[in-house]
């Protein structure tokens, strides 16, 4: 877990947050044992901004590091948890609803909890079907 947390802290240092000044880093442990990181990337239009967690998911898939999130660390100045959009995206790639999410601030872990405790009722529907890719 220490490597995952350190990776999130280092990702935070590389985040691009010139508008809010609120840098966030995320690190994902995949089912293949890889650690993949991402940082928030802001844009002047704000709506084009991507959070650190989604940035890490995109890298996980693009780099072929796996397709399932087994553990997540999120580093910020005050130890926040992922936002609602990020939680819904993470739901799509969760290895299990019980995977651990660690919130880290500048002094260390603020809290660790199960993913399902952060998003107990994700959007899922039997009327929305996946296509084969």
Catalytic residues: 53
Q: Is 55 exposed, middle or buried (0-12, 13-18, 19+ CB in 10 A)?
A: buried
């Amino acid at each position: 877990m220490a490597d995952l947390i350190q990776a999130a802290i280092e990702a935070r240092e590389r985040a691009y947050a010139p508008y809010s000044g609120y840098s966030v880093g995320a690190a994902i442990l995949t089912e293949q044992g890889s650690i993949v990181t991402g940082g928030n990337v802001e844009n002047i239009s704000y709506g084009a901004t991507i959070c650190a967690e989604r940035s890490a998911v995109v890298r996980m898939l693009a780099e072929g590091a796996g397709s399932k999130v087994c553990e997540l660390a999120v580093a910020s100045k005050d130890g926040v948890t992922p936002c609602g959009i990020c939680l819904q995206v993470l739901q799509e790639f969760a290895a299990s609803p019980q995977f651990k999410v660690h919130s880290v601030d500048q002094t260390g872990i603020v809290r660790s909890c199960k993913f399902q405790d952060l998003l107990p009722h994700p959007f899922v529907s039997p009327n929305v079907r996946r296509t084969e890719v």
